[in-house]
Chains A and B, each alone.
Chain A
Amino acid sequence: MNRTIRSITRKKRNFHLIAVLLLPAFLSFSFTEAQTAQEVIAQIKAKVEKVNDYVAQGKLKTNVAFIKAPVANVKIYFKKPNKVRIRNTSGISFIPKGSVNISLDNVFTDIDSYDVIDAGRDAKTGLRIIKLLPLNDTSEVVLSTLYIDDSKILVMKATTTTRDNGTYELQMTYGRYADFGLADKVIFSFNTREYKLPKGVTFDYDTGGTKAEENKIKDRKGKVEIDYSDYVINKGVPDSVFQ
């Protein structure tokens, strides 16, 4: 079972790589933008760099096929260059691996270690597509694709393929804190491994679940939604929070 999963992931990755390799060459013929990809990235970086740290209140919603969880009240801490911590103020939250990327800041902090590739615009949304390829072969991130609203200088969507933890997708909605490049809502999509606990361990009460339910459990796409209600920006965050 695990082997098939792994091989599927590998195929996907290969596909991504091919797409990545082909796309820029393909697109560079079609048109030229007013701003180069590097310029757009620089603008975003400048915006993002205004934020040294923040503490945000939020509501976190876990949407994973095999998890039923209440909406959690969370605090999100950020500190330059790339420290992120999501803390559930009262209860417990299952935080997916790689959620550090929720802020995207780490990408911009060491943007110099990426190859910035212009991939044109998304046909439907008209968003600028910029791909970031790490220069370092051993980097955890294999590829990041950013969908950018270049009129507002905001990253609306980001897809990141990692070496070990699959592919994540971030979708951002901006509001009051758009000037800082901070989203009001972030949807973080990720792939989970298959959930399995033997019945002999759990001693479940078996009420005879339906096939539909069982299949739903097998869905390995997960989502975490954070609704930010309040940011406190650049007021200092102690390092102890991140330990």
Chain B
Amino acid sequence: MWELLKIELLKIFRRPRTYIAFGAITAIVFLVQLALKLDGKSYIDLLLSNLSGSFEFSDEFKSKLLNGYLVCFAILTALLIQMPLLVSLIAGDSIAGEANMGTLRLSLIRPVGRTKYMIVKFLASVIYTIALLIWMAVLALFGSMLIFGTNDMVVLRSTGIDQIAASDVMWRYFAAFGYAAVALTTIAALAFLLSVFAENSIGPIIATMSIIIVFTILSEMNIPFYDDSIKPWLFTTHMVAWKGFFYVKATDDGVTITGSIANLPAILKSLTILLGYIAGFVFIAIWVFRKKDILS
């Protein structure tokens, strides 16, 4: 198993295409950091525009607010919407690409079970996804911490402001990245499933993105009918649950409780649903693939 996995990783990480994603992330993160470094004040003013009537915001306040934690949060919010494309770039290619190169048939006439082959392929996609995420974490979190320093983190939500003490932030990021890994693995699993049906990788990538876009629209629209029926079950609804780690509990007089999570059961429920999706996608992919006639 390990030998096979090494092969798959070699195939992924020796491929120029793989580094497009790493390059894209590097570029996006760097551009956001650069923009905020040069003109963070405008961004902060925009964020605070709704509050400036009630509060006094000094320049010192603003520069403290624009710290590495906030910048990372902003980058994550933006990037985790784009990341599925980068994940499907590899996961969508994992079977379809082999079919396209004519190596699928050469691989499947080796004494390796198709189930095992699929599991290894999927694991390799997951490892790639996590590697991408770690790279992003290094750039977006540690990079921003270096550039912007650290301070209390202020999370602006549509329903209020959650302020977290600087010392209480780091573990939340680790939890959030852990969760994001699962969320992106869901995308990888979807792209992987679609990859089974195609003989070139463009199809699964486009199909994955299309499904995500449709689901996201359904998730974001506030239509009562969808809200109660299908929305709670769409995986896209649960993709953003990483943010839940930055929503805190407070005492009756509004003091943040250190180490608290506002709604852990909701996050765990989201996590369970995503894991269910992953299991479902991978199971169907393997089931279909086992029966599939390889004609590529």
Hey, which bits of chain A sit against chain B, CB under 8 A?
61-71, 87-88, 90-97, 99, 190-193, 195-209, 213-214, 217, 222-223
B65 contacts partner chain A, Cβ-Cβ < 8 Å: yes
With A96-B54, A97-B54 already in contact, the answer to whether A68 and B248 are too (CB < 8 A) is yes
Hey, which chain B residues are within 8 Å of A61, CB to CB?
253-255
B residues 7-54 near A (Cβ < 8 Å) are 50-51, 53-54
In the complex, the chain B residue whose C-beta lies closest to that of A164 is B53
A95 close to B56 (CB less than 8 A)? yes
- Shortest beta-carbon distance from B50 to chain A in Å: 6
B263 contacts partner chain A, Cβ-Cβ < 8 Å: yes
A202 close to B256 (CB less than 8 A)? no
A202 to B55, CA, bound (A): 20
Hey, which chain B residues are within 8 Å of A94, CB to CB?
51, 55, 161, 163
B159 close to A213 (CB less than 8 A)? yes
Hey, which chain A residues are within 8 Å of B213, CB to CB?
none
B residues 254-287 near A (Cβ < 8 Å) are 254-256, 258, 262-263, 266-267, 270
A204 close to B255 (CB less than 8 A)? no
In the complex, the chain A residue whose C-beta lies closest to that of B61 is A92
A92 close to B158 (CB less than 8 A)? no
With A92-B152, A207-B263 already in contact, the answer to whether A193 and B54 are too (CB < 8 A) is yes
A70 close to B258 (CB less than 8 A)? yes
Hey, which chain B residues are within 8 Å of A99, CB to CB?
56
A70 close to B256 (CB less than 8 A)? yes
Interface centre among B54, B222, B241, B262 (most CB of A within 10 A): B54
B121 contacts partner chain A, Cβ-Cβ < 8 Å: no
A49 to B77, CA, bound (A): 52
With A92-B61, A204-B159, A205-B244 already in contact, the answer to whether A68 and B256 are too (CB < 8 A) is yes
With A92-B65, A99-B56 already in contact, the answer to whether A202 and B156 are too (CB < 8 A) is yes
A92 close to B154 (CB less than 8 A)? yes
Hey, which chain B residues are within 8 Å of A97, CB to CB?
53-56
B119 contacts partner chain A, Cβ-Cβ < 8 Å: no
Interface centre among B61, B161, B162, B240 (most CB of A within 10 A): B161
A199 to B160, CA, bound (A): 11
A200 to B220, CA, bound (A): 8
Hey, which chain A residues are within 8 Å of B192, CB to CB?
none
A92 close to B54 (CB less than 8 A)? no
- Shortest beta-carbon distance from B138 to chain A in Å: 23
In the complex, the chain B residue whose C-beta lies closest to that of A85 is B58
A214 close to B159 (CB less than 8 A)? yes
Hey, which chain B residues are within 8 Å of A67, CB to CB?
160-161, 163, 254
- Shortest beta-carbon distance from A222 to chain B in Å: 7
Interface centre among B237, B258, B266 (most CB of A within 10 A): B266
With A97-B53, A97-B54, A205-B241 already in contact, the answer to whether A197 and B254 are too (CB < 8 A) is no
